[in-house]
Amino acid sequence: MATMLWLQTGACSGDTMSLLNAHGPSLESLVANGDIQVLWHPSISTEPTSHLAKLIEQIEKGERELDILCVEGSLITGPYGTGMFDSFRGRAKIDIVRALAGQAQAVLAVGSCAAFGGIPAAPPNPTDCTGMQFTRDTAGGMFDTAWRSKSGMPVINLGGCPTHPLTITRTLAMLAQGLPVELDAHNRPTAFFNQMVHQGCTRNEYHEYDVEDTELGGRACMFFNLGCQGPTTMANCNSELWNQRSSKTRAGVPCFGCTSPNFPKNGDLFRTEKMGEVPVTLPLGVSRGHYMAYKNLAQAAAPMRVRDKKMDT
């Protein structure tokens, strides 16, 4: 049984809500099956915070083993590097995270805040937030690039705002069962970050024929005008539906790229920046010249059922 302690730093609790929504496996089943023992979670534990203080002390002294440390929220280093904008019992949370991470077999940054800095680290970043081992897409955050947990892993980044529920519990299950967790260039588990949001989007045929919406709430693709980042964002949102039912794009909302290190982008999330008539950022791996040639051909070839936006989305 793997012991797990969950700390919140500069967080909105969105990843906790996501964790509690997981169904396959659920956190309850991981606990009931004896995979995970929750030493502390701020929304689940019933003990007073004196219990957390005692746990921190015991783990720091090596008197209690910690297998998995989960951190939810941006690491607040202000003011002036002290971290005292975010403290627990008079001690900066960043110091507590450092101490516990040094004792843990594996460390999970749950959510794009803990992984990359996220929304709190967006300009002007008044509290000097950073990610655990990345600052946006630059390696090195609160920990330098060489830092490793006791099992030899860097911080495992579960990107997302919030992280997909199944990404959290399946990573916990893999660690609890001693399975290897392979990571991508941004230290995200490849098992969950190996496809684009664009893959599996029900609006794909509209995208192929360049039939685009100009207003929210429509039925076509949102890439050209409404800021959709599905073709550049690695995440499983359209293959593992949220609440087993839907996703942003299925609900008619553009993908904001929330699993990416540079989330949130510096600009309007509902508008596509363009160079001439073509988006500045193209689908991953596509050249501008080919894209422009293809776009005009695709529009001309669009069948009536697609042009009329009569397909189900």
Among residues 207, 234, 236, 242, which is the contact residue for ligand SF4, using CB under 6 A? 207
Applying CB under 6 A, does 121 fall inside the site for ligand SF4? no
Per CB under 6 A, 257 contacts ligand SF4 = no
Six token digits for residue 92: 């900066």
Residue 263 CB, shortest distance to ligand SF4, in Å, is 9
Residue 204 makes contact with ligand SF4 by CB under 6 A: yes
Identify the CA nearest to 110 among candidates 252, 223, 199, 14. Answer: 14
Q: Is 195 in the site for ligand SF4 (CB under 6 A)?
A: no
Is residue 117 involved in binding ligand SF4 (CB under 6 A)? no
Query: Of the candidates 2, 6, 14, 70, which one interacts with ligand SF4 according to CB under 6 A?
Result: 14
User: Contact between 101 and ligand SF4 (CB under 6 A)?
Assistant: no
Helix, strand, coil distribution of the chain in percent, nearest 5: 25, 20, 55
Decide: is 11 part of the binding site for ligand SF4 (CB under 6 A): yes
Q: Is 94 in the site for ligand SF4 (CB under 6 A)?
A: no
> Taking the complex as a whole, how short is the minimal distance between the CB of residue 283 and ligand SF4, in angstroms?
8
Torsion of CA 235, 308, 218, 196, to 10 degrees: 10
The count of chain residues that interact with ligand SF4, using the rule CB under 6 A, is 27
Q: Which is nearer to ligand SF4, 100 or 197 (CB)?
A: 197
Q: How far is the CB of 196 from ligand SF4 (least distance, A)?
A: 8
What's the rounded Cα separation, in Å, for the pair 257 and 263? 6
Phi, psi of 205 (to 5 degrees): -65, -35
For the chain, where are the E strands, in sequence order? 2-8, 36-40, 66-72, 75-76, 87-88, 91-92, 104-110, 129-130, 134-135, 138-139, 156-158, 274-275, 278-279
Judge whether 69 and 155 are in contact, CB under 8 Å.
no
* Burial class for 303, CB neighbours closer than 10 Å (0-12, 13-18, 19+): exposed
Residues numbered 274 to 313 that lie near ligand SF4 (CB under 6 A) are none
Q: Which residues contact 244 (CB under 8 A, 6 or more apart)?
A: 23
Residue 223 Cβ, how far from ligand SF4 at the closest point, in Å?
3
Q: Which is nearer to ligand SF4, 1 or 301 (CB)?
A: 301
Cα 97 from chain centroid?
A: 19
Figure out which of the listed residues 22, 97, 203, 227 binds ligand SF4, where binding follows CB under 6 A: 203
Q: Decide: 208 and 201 in contact? Cβ < 8 Å.
A: no
Binding site for ligand SF4 (CB under 6 A): 11-12, 14-15, 72-73, 111-113, 118-119, 161-162, 197-198, 201, 203-204, 207, 221-223, 228, 230-231, 249, 255
